[in-house]
Structure 1
């Protein structure tokens, strides 16, 4: 059942990163500026992140299977609309639909793991799930780059729409969430009570550091892999589209194993926060180095190192699960997942604006973008380190 749910998450990863492959085609057909391209890529993350607020509550009230089956057709329709889009506006509407339809994909996996696997195995299975989601990133590497190069950017959305239909059928056939005999009955709250309970998480001081970093690490990796990787390698170093796809494929292969590796190395609740903060600062330094590198091979090598490092994000999921009492786990994971993907949307949109500003000032846009990401990561890491931690994580 978990593998069936993960098929939906893998495809959401494909939708999230397809911009790196179709960017040139979109710019040629619709005359998109760097800022408009960033807004297009970011709209998926923004709609995905905002929808998380409702998806967590919906899963608590109605279950994982009904929520995923009801939302996935929206993403399929959005992909079809994107493939047929006659203008930029219709393309943006398609992105919103895809983001909303994909929004419960990974949340369903994490809640399923939290409910049906031992707590001490949560980090491992969450890492494994994040890694298997990398199969979707692989699709938007060399395979989709080859298709898009030969048949155009619209063919990419057609393929993803067809695969999404297959995923929906797989979930329909295989996912029937078992009820644990020892599980307490689900409370029948009103929507108002559910929303107030979710809002109550914001009154807890440790929530703010968690959200600040949640909106940063994964967003930085996806902004590079899903938006700027193609334009950077093509325009700065003269790579072809397929060459760029090959780099994206290598990053995607790495992403299959990096989260699981960090999940196995989980140092426990006390030391985990220091690991997370230090990894985030190191990631910021690597983005700063990318900004100034002028050698194509060294740039690709550093991108690969970033692909290895980003797996620390799985430790943040484990930190969230350890930071709240069990009755708040589902909603805390929902809120954190919202922050991750809202961060992706905000960072992609913001870096598009930074690129446009840098171009207007006669500066190289990619250097400005990478430095902006580095600064964002550094500030978020400091917030996570110095804002209060959960009382549940304090030493006895």
Structure 2
């Protein structure tokens, strides 16, 4: 199982890579295929939406088939096949289909590890283990920053995607060979996703789940590149360094969040405080959008650090899930979290189009305002939620 968890962590590294690598390919893809950042925002949104759409069947698969088959086969077919199609792409439609396939392939890997944690380890350790897995996986964000920019400039983006396709296949085969499914819970195992949605305690948590990951998903996943290029005229290598800085901040933030619920004795207020800090940083980005490149990068890194509270949100909700619906429960939260990014990425693409042609920073100020307001609304609901402690 230790080897299996390591391979699931490697699979999640690939998942984190694929949700963010378009940020450093905006220039090469526009040069080679004429694909603009607005179109890439749609491609990024399709990744998140396909990822989110799979969460319901993935939840069923985890509870019935187990994490080994659910994660291994989807990563093999979706991740490997989608990366190969991206490497061969000659049109916008092929890029979109490739991102949908990759989203399907990446959909189960984090939830498979969360399912194993929830069914195998004490509840009090869940947030720490989840944060550790996400922290390790966020190395994929590092790979998708300067290393991917360097690869695109040296061997070309197509060759880099072929290597990633091979990596998906190898990791998927390893998961199928090594992961061991936890024993199923004893007793009555009847139930469905509707049973979870009938729990009012979750309703006040779901709005923040929708918008919590959206700022770092949208900014690190795509807009950091065009923003720094259009407003501060940074080149591909400099953007690679900036994305690397934000990625490191996300890793540090995730690892910092992990033990805080046990240290402070609360999950709700750890999440609320961190997301409120992210809201303040988004407001500062609006106020100082064109002041200085390094200030902008520092503020983006701050959003990455404080916006990495997703594992604690999952741990907060996990305290309310019945054992036999654990797979459906964690994937439900992931559905809202990743689906929210997908929907908001479509929104940011349209906002960018609507404000293009004005001042260079105008489209990005509008995006920052949109993300800040969305996060504030989520916090208003979450403030009334019920805390959980183990």
Query: Taking structure 2 as the reference length, what is the TM-score of the superposition?
Result: 0.92
Question: Does residue 314 in structure 1 map to residue 317 in structure 2?
Answer: no
Task: Please state how far the C-alpha of 1:218 moved relative to its aligned partner.
Answer: 1.4
Q: Distance in 2 between matches of 1:6 and 1:176?
A: 15
Find the residue that maps to 2:261 and give its secondary structure: coil
Find the residue that maps to 2:90 and give its secondary structure: coil
Match of 2:205 in 1: 210
**Structure 2: unaligned runs, 5 residues or longer:** none
Question: Residues of 2 paired with 1:185 and 1:14: CA distance?
Answer: 40
- Distance in 2 (CA, whole Å) between partners of 1:255 and 1:186 is 40
Q: 1:262, 1:312 within 8 Å by CA — same for their partners in 2?
A: yes
- 8 Å contact kept, 2:84–2:162: yes
Distance 1:234-1:11 versus aligned 2 partners, 3 A rule: same
Residue of structure 2 equivalent to 1:49? 52
Equivalent residue number for residue 155 of structure 1: 159
Q: 1:255 to 1:279 in 2, by over 3 A?
A: closer
Does the CA contact (< 8 Å) of 1:5 and 1:171 recur in 2? Answer: yes
2:338 matches 1:335:
no
2:319 is paired with a residue whose SS is helix
Distance apart, 1:235 and its partner CA? 1.5
Task: Give the alignment of 1:125-144 within 5 angstroms.
Answer: 125-144=129-148
- Name the counterpart of 2:370: 372
SS at match of 1:9: helix
Does residue 179 of the first structure (1) align with residue 176 of the second (2)? no
CA distance in 1, matches of 2:234, 2:137: 27
Task: Single out whichever of 60-69 and 253-262 deviates more from structure 2.
Answer: 253-262
**By percentage of residues, which structure has more helix?**
1
Contact 1:68 1:104 in 2 (8 A): yes
Give the Cα–Cα distance (whole angstroms) in 1 for the partners of residues 278 and 158 of structure 2.
Answer: 34
Deviation, structure 1 residue 50: 0.7
| Cα 1:85/1:50, change in 2 over 3 Å | same
2:39 is aligned with 1:36 = yes
Q: Which runs of 5+ in 1 are unaligned?
A: none
Distance 1:269 1:309 in 2: 17
Change (3 A) 1:254 1:269: closer
2:320 to 320, 323, 342: 323
TM-score scaled by structure 1?
0.90
**Residue of 111, 114, 124 corresponding to 1:110:** 114
Contact 1:34 1:353 (8 Å CA) reproduced = no
Question: Would you say how many aligned residue pairs link Structure 1 and Structure 2?
Answer: 383
Over the aligned positions, Cα root-mean-square deviation in angstroms equals: 2.2
Is the Cα–Cα contact under 8 Å of residues 125 and 260 in structure 1 kept in the other structure? no
Contact 1:269 1:319 in 2 (8 A): no
Deviation at 1:375, TM superposition (A): 0.9
CA contact (8 A) 1:13 1:134 kept: yes
The equivalences for 1:55-70 within 5 A come to 55-70=58-73
The Cα of 1:346 is off from its aligned counterpart by 1.2
In 1, Cα distance between the equivalents of 2:226 and 2:334? Answer: 28
**Larger displacement relative to structure 2 (87-96 or 325-334):** 325-334
Deviation string, structure 1 residues 272-299 (Cα, Å, up to 9, x no partner): 2123223222212211211232211111
> 1:258 Cα deviation (Å)?
2.2
SS of 2:181's equivalent? coil
Kindly report which structure 2 residues correspond to 1:330-369, keeping only aligned pairs within 5 A, or say none: 330-359=327-356, 364-369=362-367
- Between the aligned partners of 1:323 and 1:179, the Cα distance in structure 2 is 21
Q: Give 1:119 deviation, angstroms.
A: 1.1
Counterpart contact for 1:215–1:343, Cα < 8 Å: yes
Q: What's the CA shift for 1:330?
A: 2.2
- Give the alignment of 1:290-301 within 5 angstroms: 290-293=285-288, 294-301=291-298
Q: Segments of 4+ in structure 1 off by > 4 A?
A: 267-270, 360-363
Deviation at 1:27, TM superposition (A): 2.5
Distance 1:227 1:118, change over 3 A: same
The Cα shift of 1:270 comes to: 7.1
**Aligned residue number for residue 285 of structure 1:** 280
Does the Cα contact within 8 Å between 1:33 and 1:356 map onto a contact in 2?
no
Q: Deviation per CA, 1:38-78, whole angstroms, max 9, x where unpaired? A: 11111100000011011010111111101112211222101
